[in-house]
Structure 1
Amino acid sequence: MHFRIGLKNSNMIKIIHIKSILLCLALCSLGCKDKTSENPLPIQEEIAALKTIGQKNDYLEKIHQADQDIRDGRDSELVLKYGLDSPEVKSFYSKMDSIDALNLEKIELYLKEFGYPNKDSVTTEAAMAPWIVIHHSMDVDKRKGFFSVLYQAYNNGYINLDQFELYLGRTYKLEFGTYPFGEGAYDPNEKINGLIEALNLKK
């Protein structure tokens, strides 16, 4: 009688042990699955997955949102609170640079695959995303590398005269150290043509 009870208890312990192992394996599997799902796809795969106008619109809107979220005025608050050369401010700008670099890479691959978005097919934020990300880049060579696509977008009416002039003007300032302000009234088209020539860009 005692032997049977002991055997029964032994079997129960084995069953509990097996169930515990199976539960651990299941939790590990779920944990690994969640961890994998949290990892972002490579940018090339993200772009390749954009099949519809809606998907492209959402993708560009998220880039625009990321660009704007980091520029919500926190830098001014940090400068006032800690000082311009403080670790807090430097850390903030380092984070901004990382976000800008990632956004620029996404936009570069997007434009190569799909071209500049037609503003009549997407939202204002989505249509503005490529221009604003390029405009925020501090890399002169990169900025110049986007000239052709932005010039075509400008001619197509996808970006306006002011946006195109801002892009060229900031590129000029980054390259030459001064902003090309005109004295008195000037023709914006003449200024644009002058900037294109000064920056040695080809239409």
Structure 2
Amino acid sequence: MTPPLRIHLVRAVNVGGTAKLPMADWRALAEGLGATRVTTYIASGNLVCVPPDDDHDAFDRALEHAVEERFGFFREVISRSREEVANALAAHPFEVIEPKFSYITFLTAAPTAEAVEAAREVPTGDDRWEVIGRDLHVRYAQGAGRPQMKDATVGRRLAVAGTARNLNTVRKLLELSA
């Protein structure tokens, strides 16, 4: 039986001219670490592959180290199984009016209840967010380019790193991992 594909997301690359990570190099790094069936989707650090073994955390850390060694910057790598991503999408708590305005931020860990309460103090306007397990769900009223809430402040108060993908991207990653 072939091991399952896994979805790997690297945080904050190819945004605003910093932390450039060409997708061909991202694929090559994963292959160099023993991954198979490697593919990427758009230039925002999305990788779908079969890791070399069942130690997903070790593979994520190896990817982080490889990026840092090759490109000179550190970025978190967060991975999920296809089932975990599908469950996160199914759990999205907001009406989806425009998929590109709705996001799932895949977090490195579940934030504490105290951190969530601290984040709730941040004004959101018509934007909405909710933490479900290790995922932060967001719906921007007017899109991520014009947020009413200070999403970086919410993220800092949650005190766990994460990387966001809009629902169009999440759906495409599920398709690629099928």
Which has the larger share of strand?
A: 2
Shorter-chain TM-score above 0.5 = no
Please, what TM-score do these two structures have when normalized by structure 2? Answer: 0.28
Larger Rg: 1
Please, what TM-score do these two structures have when normalized by structure 1? Answer: 0.26
Which has the larger share of helix?
A: 1
